[in-house]
Amino acid sequence: MTSQWKTQDKVFLITGGASGLGAEYVKIFLQLGAKSMAVLDIAEAVGKTFVASLNETYPGKAMFIKCDVSKEDEIKTAFQQVLDANKRIDVIINNAGIMNDAPNQWRTASDVNWQGLVSFTLKGMEHMRKDKGGAGGTIINISSIAALYKYPNLPIYCGAKMAVLHFGQTLSVPPFFDSTGVRVLTICFGPTLTPLMDNLTERSVDREFGEAYLKSVIDLSAIQRIESAVTAFVKMFKEGEPGSIWLSVKNKPGMDITSDINKTFDEFKMKWLA
């Protein structure tokens, strides 16, 4: 593990960091010695309360910025606020996400899950890249098992998460890291015991179809604990090679599945495009 992959004295920016898994990442990285944690979230009251509690334990190390990652102007403002406060950003965690394919929500969800993530990634790259005077850094994009598995009740969410996975692996093709010093990591979580697992029927692309599907496939024993997901996330941060893709499912240790993903793409290329 190189020194730049360590947590100590690093400045973090995390979207969707006020609650759920995002809040758990904030707490664990502060425990591991992060210098500063910028928590971005649309939930202002929750975020301010959370950051206030953090600063009781880690005085001055956490800041909250209200940011709707579906809105480009708010992304630009928040990113600059973090830079103004810290002079640099070492780690970006694109954690904000909405699992909602309902007719009145899917467009906003897609903006959050995909376009907001791309925007923060590109801004982070421009700031971090060594070939343009930056110090390097790490950008972590949250995908999902939905990128690797067909959930017919959530086709829009599945598509967005596959986009996140392919974006990360394509962006980081060598010699990207050698040139920029920016390590891009992608992690796919299986079903995890968070609010994202609540009221799935109402968040399906079609409620009637979604209810029938969920009754046939949901395996409660497969839903992993939050602690397992966080442990897998930290393992990836400490050990993940640039461009690697990780999997966290069923309370198992985090697994680097890059070779499996690459094999699938390579086999398709050899069979159909060679």
Positions marked catalytic: 157
Cβ neighbourhood burial of 269 (10 Å; 0-12, 13-18, 19+): exposed
